[in-house]
Structure 1
């Protein structure tokens, strides 16, 4: 009898551990997330759009929007591909390589669209671009998109795979910690697990190891 009940107990203890692991990775519901594709392909000379938006839909007209290229060689403190602040573009901090070449669709900011257009892309524009909404009340305030400029790619066919969108990424260590499940969720999982364990123990018939003798 002890051996059979020990097996049920082991099953009961394993179940809450599996459940906790599943709940641990679930994003907090209701928070806005910055979302974009992992990559975009384009031909040299093409005008390209790097799609990026906030979901659920949110009016971003009063927010700061930062587009940067981490591998761009810094020019003093000028590191932005585009900086939008106080309802206008801040051109004084824009990299020379992108002057008169990048823009937001400001009329669409009210619906959460923060996509970036780059005019006349070249091979030098290839690389990773980061879209950050620093004041967004969320742990997922940024998305990273890789632009691939391919000379063999047919013009006017900018490619974005609709199934190739990034999972929202925490912006720093504090944000990663804030993404952990709330204690209330853990307690609920543990209570449910113990109730299930009790039910399993109650329903499992006792087995007498001497019954076969």
Structure 2
């Protein structure tokens, strides 16, 4: 199928100065342009944000990552990525959104962000591959709650729950992990909750 009629305003005005291969294969050249154009379009229904179903638990003072990625891979480097607290609104009649982090034009947009998060937040370094995870440094009890990621270009959003628990103790790599041995049938029953026989 030739798409030359669709691109007739491109194909019929080729000058004599253009390479012979271009003049002889203008139909194929136009298909290549059309394919590149179609591949550059964004169809919002084809993308989704992947976040963990369970909450992220941290102790006050911890640095955390709220995992979030676009599936399938999507280059978010030059796009807008917004993280906000859905239950927080600015005081006043407009009740505008209070942003935790805003990425626009390849950088942080500080003018849109809540003061308390400007020095404590950053995005993943994997933006080129759709990783839009939010890093929060030195979390406090005030950070407890839901965080929503929204990507306007794709019209998709997802929420991550952060639980800041003063009694939470995370296991570090410096701690020794006991060696696992093969369990007896009785131990396996206790671990899985199934009967052995």
The two structures share one fold, judged by TM-score above 0.5:
yes
Offset of residue 75 of structure 1: 5.3
Q: Which of 141, 145, 153 is matched with 1:123 structurally?
A: 141
- Looking at structure 1, the residues matched to 89 and 141 of structure 2 have their Cα atoms a distance apart, in angstroms, of 15
Larger helix share, 1 or 2: 1
Aligned to 2:85: 69
Aligned to 2:151: 133
1:80 corresponds to 2:96:
no
Q: Where do 5+ consecutive residues of structure 2 fail to align?
A: 1-44, 173-197
1:142 corresponds to 2:184:
no
Aligned to 2:66: 50
- Looking at structure 1, the residues matched to 112 and 171 of structure 2 have their Cα atoms a distance apart, in angstroms, of 30
**Is the 8 Å Cα contact of residues 84 and 100 (structure 2) preserved in structure 1?**
yes
Q: Structure 1 residues 156, 70: closer, same or farther in 2, change over 3 A?
A: farther
Offset of residue 155 of structure 1: 4.0
RMSD in angstroms over aligned alpha carbons?
2.1
SS at match of 1:70: strand
How many pairs are equivalent? Answer: 125
Aligned to 1:101: 120
- Looking at structure 2, the residues matched to 156 and 73 of structure 1 have their Cα atoms a distance apart, in angstroms, of 35
- Looking at structure 2, the residues matched to 50 and 122 of structure 1 have their Cα atoms a distance apart, in angstroms, of 15
**Is the 8 Å Cα contact of residues 34 and 52 (structure 1) preserved in structure 2?**
yes
- Looking at structure 2, the residues matched to 78 and 33 of structure 1 have their Cα atoms a distance apart, in angstroms, of 22
Q: Structure 1 residues 156, 114: closer, same or farther in 2, change over 3 A?
A: farther
Q: Structure 1 residues 46, 144: closer, same or farther in 2, change over 3 A?
A: same
- Looking at structure 2, the residues matched to 80 and 143 of structure 1 have their Cα atoms a distance apart, in angstroms, of 15
SS at match of 2:128: helix
SS at match of 1:66: strand
**Is the 8 Å Cα contact of residues 42 and 150 (structure 1) preserved in structure 2?**
yes
- Looking at structure 2, the residues matched to 120 and 98 of structure 1 have their Cα atoms a distance apart, in angstroms, of 10
Higher relative contact order, structure no. (Cα contacts within 8 Å, ≥ 6 residues apart): 1
**Is the 8 Å Cα contact of residues 84 and 97 (structure 2) preserved in structure 1?**
no
| TM-score (structure 2 length as normaliser) | 0.59
**Is the 8 Å Cα contact of residues 123 and 149 (structure 1) preserved in structure 2?**
yes
Aligned to 1:92: 111
**Is the 8 Å Cα contact of residues 75 and 95 (structure 1) preserved in structure 2?**
no
Offset of residue 78 of structure 1: 6.0
Q: Which runs of 4+ in 1 moved over 2 A?
A: 75-78
